[in-house]
Amino acid sequence: MSSQDPRSRIPRTDTLLASPAALEATERLGAATVRRLVTAAQDRARRGEIEPEQVAAVLAGSLQRSPTRLHPVLNATGVVIHTNLGRAPLSRAAIDAICTAAEYVDVELDLTTGTRSKRGVAARAALLARCPAAEEALVVNNGAAALVLATTTLAQGREIIVSRGELIEIGAGFRLPDLIASTGARLREVGTTNRTHLVDYADATGPETGCILKVHPSNFRLGGFTAAASVSELRALAAEHDVPLVVDLGSGLLAPDPMIPDEPDASTTISDGADVITASGDKLLGGPQAGIVLGRKEIVDRMAKHPLARAVRADKLALAALEATLSGPDTPTSVALHADPVRLRERAEKLAATVGGEVVPHDGRVGGGGAPGVPLPGWAVALPESAAAALRLGDPAVLPRSHGGRCLVDLRCVPESEDERLAAAVRAALGG
């Protein structure tokens, strides 16, 4: 290589690796990743994309990357439980709990006696404190696992009676009939799509019945000429035939919420007679991905002892985050769900005054299969539709809603502490 070749000025690998920025990043990213970033910066200079003198600065910038390829996103859609954004954002308490649990912790150890203890004791106690109607609780790794464990324990090789109107499909092609079939149980469908009566369940219940299953429909609402048997009605039938009544709530609401009065909750459902309820921890509960089981002690204990329970158990990070969610302050999910429309308008008007755009009424949604069709009154800033892509690709990344030829920025799910960063992101997206 000629001494006049600018590539000869590219810093040496060992020099770059010994820089303070590289040494600090090695602790976060690992030596192999840092070496790859060094090589990438040098290669850019070799290709003439940057000057050799810029290599160190470019490397320093790339070393600021996160250890994960996941990108933080400001949720400006107005959808509180946004599946594509990881459902419920965790509270500060839950995040701190995860950091604690990331090290060695007494997840299955009694420090007093030095002997092994039950897993998830604190999380189960926190669940029971929030849902006193339940006798026992169990935590597994997600809502589908909770339902699979319940139906496998109670009805493997037998029949599960369920209404045809509750054989749902939710996101990513997840179908309840397929899930139940995987347990080795047989579905006994009763009623019709729009009307299922108590007598339909009664006619199907017999010696082969493993359990009666009632499922809260997700992502849709059936109206018009409809009928469904209530939990309390099914309780009487289940007691008559001595079969368990399982209710899949899905959304994880533990107690009634006046904001979404028609959404079933665990406390009421158990009081009405469900033997077991299953739900998700990362929806309306506002916690980590987890499957929640609440109900009669005898049945929950049977589920906990089933061999499948080991395969679907929750890890220590989820248990810690769930405990903190249940015993800590209001979750971001709860704050967004109960956001004051007046304050939302004030924030939207301030954003519009800063970046331009029109403040328009905009209904948010619960999302994640919770309270389908129920509007959450609020406001949004309407921008040109072309701003949507620039917002998604900006720093910070912002996900707005594209609707009616406009880009709508709804602040319901954006913490007020992020308003200035959001405004800067919008200005950048608009070329300002």
CATH of domain 73-84+334-429: 3.90.1150.110
pLDDT, position 19: 93
Domain coordinates of the chain in residue numbers? 6-62, 73-84+334-429, 91-329
What is the Cα 60 distance to its own chain's centre?
Answer: 34
Across 310-335, average pLDDT:
97
pLDDT, position 250: 84
pLDDT class for 432, splitting at 50, 70, 90?
low
Cα Rg of the chain (Å, integer): 26
pLDDT, position 288: 98
Backbone angles phi, psi at 183, to 5 degrees: -85, -10
Give the tens place of pLDDT for each residue, 157-166: 999 999 998 8
Residue 390 has pLDDT above 80, yes or no: yes
The more confidently predicted of residues 417 and 7 is 417
pLDDT, position 68: 86
**Tokens of residue 328, six digits:** 């800590």
pTM: 0.90
Using CA atoms of 36, 37, 41, 43 in order, give the dihedral in degrees to the nearest 10. Answer: 20
User: Rounded to 5 degrees, what angle do the CA atoms 110, 116, 118 make?
Assistant: 85
Average pLDDT value for the chain = 94
> Measuring CA to CA, which residue among 289, 275, 165 is closest to residue 218?
165
> Measuring CA to CA, which residue among 416, 228, 413, 428 is closest to residue 334?
413
User: For residue 193, what are the CA distances in angstroms to 95, 216, 265, 387?
Assistant: 42, 14, 23, 42
Residue 416 has pLDDT above 70, yes or no: yes
> Measuring CA to CA, which residue among 384, 80, 131 is closest to residue 269?
131
Residue 155 CA to residue 349 CA, distance in Å, equals 56
Residue 173 has pLDDT above 70, yes or no: no
Give the tens place of pLDDT for each residue, 197-231: 999 999 999 999 999 999 988 767 777 888 999 99
pLDDT class for 180, splitting at 50, 70, 90?
confident
Give the tens place of pLDDT for each residue, 38-77: 999 999 999 999 999 999 999 999 998 888 889 999 999 9
pLDDT, position 172: 63
pLDDT, position 219: 65
The more confidently predicted of residues 295 and 165 is 295
Residue 362 has pLDDT above 90, yes or no: yes
Residue 242 has pLDDT above 90, yes or no: yes
Residue 79 CA to residue 226 CA, distance in Å, equals 28
CATH of domain 91-329: 3.40.640.10
pLDDT, position 224: 83
pLDDT, position 334: 97
State the pairing for strand pair 401-403/406-410.
antiparallel
The 3 state secondary structure assigned to the chain is CCCCCHHHHCCCHHHHHCCHHHHHHHHHHCHHHHHHHHHHHHHHHHCCCCCHHHHHHHHHHHCCCCCCCCCCEEECCCEEEEHHHCECCCCHHHHHHHHHHCCCCCCCEECCCCEECCCCHHHHHHHHHHCCCCCEEEEECCHHHHHHHHHHHHHCCCEEEEEHHHCCECHHHCEHHHHHHCCCCEEEEECCCCECCHHHHHHHCCCCEEEEEEECCCCCCCCCCCECCCHHHHHHHHHHHCCCEEEEEECCCCCCCCCCCCCCCHHHHHHCCCCEEEEECCCCCCCCCCEEEEECHHHHHHHHHCHHHHHCECCHHHHHHHHHHHHCCCCHHHHHHCCCHHHHHHHHHHHHHHHCCEEEECCEEEECCECCCCCECCEEEEEECCHHHHHHCCCCEEECEEECCEEEEECCCCCHHHHHHHHHHHHHHCCC
pLDDT class for 182, splitting at 50, 70, 90?
confident
